[in-house]
Amino acid sequence: MRRGEGPLQRAVVRRKGQITLPQEVRDALHVEEGDSVAFTLTGEGTVVLSGLKSIPAEQAWFWTEQWQAGEREASLQAARGEGTIYESAKDFEDSLD
C-alpha cells in the first residue's frame, strides 16, 4: 500500500528471504495460493508489489487486446439494451440466413 492510503502492513523476512503476505495485502493484490507477484523497483528507494494471475495457454486468446476490445464493446451494447434476444436456438439459426 502507498504511504497514507491505509494501515501499515508488516511482514518478517525469514532466513531464506521469505515473507508471508498479510491477508489484507493478498486481498488488495487479488492473489491466492499459486499466483505470482511482481516487484518493481522505483528510483525513490521503494518497491511496488503487483499481483499476477496465470492463465492456461489455451485461454490466452481471450486476453488479447483485440478480444478484450470486443468484450468491452459487447458490454457497452448490452448496457445500452442493444441486441436481439431469441426465443429458441432455431430462431437464432434462422436469423443467420
Asked whether residue 83 falls in the same domain as residue 41, the answer is no
Residues 4 and 45 in one domain: yes
Residues 46 and 81 placed together within one structural domain of the fold: no
pLDDT at residue 3, rounded to an integer = 53
Alpha-carbon distance of 9 to 25, in angstroms, equals: 7
- Number of domains making up the chain: 2
Residue 16, domain CATH:
2.10.260.10
**48 and 12 within one domain:** yes
Report if pTM > 0.95: no
All three cell numbers of 93, joined, read: 439459426
Q: What is the pLDDT along the chain (97 residues), one digit of tens a residue?
A: 455 577 888 999 999 999 999 999 999 999 999 889 999 999 888 999 999 988 888 998 998 999 999 999 999 999 999 989 899 999 999 999 7
Residue 32's domain comprises 1-54
